[in-house]
Structure 1
Amino acid sequence: MLVHSMQKTNSKPLPNPKPKPKPKPKPNHISGWFSPCFRPYRIPKSSNYHMVSVSTRKFSHWTWWTCAAIGSTIYTVGKYIYGGISSRVFFLDCRSHTWHEAPSIQMTPKYPLMSVIDGKIYVVEGLNVPDSSDSMKVFDLKKQIWEHLPCPRAEIFGKSYILRSLAIDGKLYLFGDKNMVYKVDENKWDVVGLETRVSWAFSDFSCVIDNIMYNYILSRKLQWYDSKGILWRDLKGLEELPKMPKSCTRVRMVNHGGKIALLWDKKVRGFDSNEKNIWCAVFAVERRSEQEVYGKLEWCEVVLKVPKSCCLLEFLAVDV
């Protein structure tokens, strides 16, 4: 956020005025990892936890990009604002806060979707899948190479689109107008029917912990997916959690070291208030039976105050 300072001066001009310094360029909202509104604005004094900005080396801008966190790094694939679609891949070292370039993906995805299974990144082209020859690539982190993974989606369904990819229990699910699952250990593809209700969860406000998917829904509830019963069940034990937003689009959820971390925004009270608070809550989860999973709230506080024009986009957890 830019802060302009003003200083009183004499009304008479100075005899030898110094040349005016050139104005500093305004920061671009995608030149760093955080949006300008998340640069230090106001942190509540009573909070024990703070959201702070981290300056990183600038890199080329993306109009569409998707991210995946592995260990202490964040990989991103997307396309440029200038120069059309690109196959270049970058990753952020969260320990040194520097961007680096990884081997190119050997395809030019317009709307890439990323998932991580056993130290490998699976990238599939979202929306339209023209054919099966280049629909999916796999990046081996140890070998630092991209490999092709044949996908029979186009052969089985013809022209189709993908809205989301999901990695859970060693399997890669592709959800769209038609659904498929890739079983990594068996190197086998299967068609998934409507009985898999896990497709109802969206990536921004859901996460997977110990092969159990958790999701935030419109009724201000957190639920977990019972794969045996093929249904969603309410997560119990979170009565101390503050009242959450009605809209799930204002909530972000992530697996934070085996615990659930929630991030959401809430407008500051006041008729003419132009600010809102960013809340964060962390709680552990425990499965007590086949039909019951409980959450234990560890802490929940306001971590930052921002202008009301700000919105939450990406929320990733890394090990540093």
Structure 2
Amino acid sequence: MQIYKTRSDIGAKETCFYVYLTLPNHPYPSWFSLWAKPQQVGTKGRWENWYKKDPSGNSVVPTPFSSYQSLPMTNQGQCALTVGSEIYVIGGPYDKPSSFVRILDCRSNTWRDGPNMTMARENASAIFRDKKIYVIGRCEDFASWIEVFDMDTQSWTALPGPGADEDELLNHLRARYHYCIFDVFEGKLWVEVGGKKEYAYDLKDGTWKLVREKSRFSFPSLSDWCEIDNILYGCTGLGDLMWSPKTEGREWSKIKGLENLREHRTKGLESGWHFKIVGFGRQKLLVMWKFSGINQKKKK
């Protein structure tokens, strides 16, 4: 692995994205890698009609693994988090809680088991900051609603969730409202609940604070989000791409000029679902979504 360290030290990095897809007429879900302008791409064989370079030089190619038995069966709702050149698959999907952690080394395309969490979780939300992974939610024990994984010690530590005096937040969580960690800064976790309310959790004293009652926009909870240069970008369940400054009590605004992308009659964001959004190099966004293929009605 010395070659990867050397390339990283001299700034000769490759940009590659991994995607887990279920395809028609293919018996198993599969992992694929999206390479930014690769020099060589193997597109021969049974995949040649599916995966080729687009006009920009980017390519989507199947990712080789030693066997299907080595693959964790990731499903919709299962948490996946990028940490450097590795991908952590954390917990279980909807209705299948698990404490397991699987780690994909993207340099060698090999899987290994990571240390188990202290609680079994489903559809968890996670973020990586300052050599730590923060995971929240989707477990029965609110006393261990938050966990922190220290990359140096390779150990999990449980943190308490909302207490008895946070009745409103507890009710939201018991009702299984959607929630996710937006950020970790100023010693606090920033958590969005139900698409409208935003809370800050103080990591030192374990207290919760409501920092935003509701947005001036009426939109459902963000399906996914990412951060580029201290700006947060997200995609709503209705296919709206949003941005917000990284500040307390932030307000979200729509990204302008994307009407054609959103309103395409068969493949637009408006007709899509299961959105993913990631930073693509510097100051670029990569947005992926499933589309229904159903024509949208013309607006009057």
1:243 to 261, 285, 288: 261
Q: How many aligned residue pairs are there?
A: 239
1:91 aligns with 2:100: no
CA distance in 1, matches of 2:238, 2:180: 25
8 Å CA contact 1:77–1:112 kept in 2: the answer is: yes
State the match for 1:53 in structure 2: 62
1:151 matched residue in structure 2: 161
Consecutive unaligned residues of structure 2, counting only runs of 5 or more, are: 1-22, 34-45, 263-267, 295-300
Distance 1:95 1:185, change over 3 A: farther
**218-227 vs 85-94, which moves further:** 218-227
Partner in structure 2 of residue 172 of structure 1: 189
Q: CA 1:145–1:235 in structure 2 vs 1: closer, same or farther (change >3 Å)?
A: same
Is it true that 1:133 corresponds to 2:151 in the alignment? no
Cα offset, 1:175, TM superposition: 3.0
SS at match of 1:167: strand
User: Which residue type is aligned with residue 253 of structure 2?
Assistant: R
Are the counterparts in 2 of residues 117 and 167 from structure 1 also a CA contact under 8 Å?
no
TM-score (norm: length of structure 2): 0.62
Partner of 1:72: 85
Distance 1:254 1:45 in 2: 19
Shift of 1:56: 2.8
In the alignment, which residue of structure 2 is the partner of 1:233? 253
Q: What are the residue-to-residue correspondences of 1:168-207 with 2, within 5 Å? A: 168=183, 170=185, 171-176=188-193, 179-184=198-203, 188-195=207-214, 202-207=221-226
Distance 2:285 2:278 in 1: 5
**Partners of 1:59 and 1:49 in 2: CA distance:** 25
State how far apart, in whole Å, the 2-side matches of 1:258 and 1:96 are. 25
Partner of 1:33 in structure 2? 31
In the TM superposition, residue 203 of structure 1 has moved relative to its aligned partner by 4.9
Pairwise CA distance, 1:54: 1.1
Does the 8 Å contact 2:219/2:236 carry over to 1? no
How much identity, in percent, do the aligned residues show?
Answer: 26
Q: Any idea what the Cα deviations from partners look like across 1:271-314, whole Å, max 9, x if unmatched?
A: xxxxx9xxxxxxxxxxxxxxxxxxxxxxxxxxxxxxx79xxxxx
1-side partners of 2:200 and 2:190: how far apart? Answer: 4
Alpha-carbon distance, 1:151 to partner = 2.2
CA deviations on 1:188-242 (whole Å, 9 max, x unpaired) are 5323341467995755443222332123468976432244784333546x68x96
Query: Letter of the aligned partner of 1:88 in structure 2?
Result: F
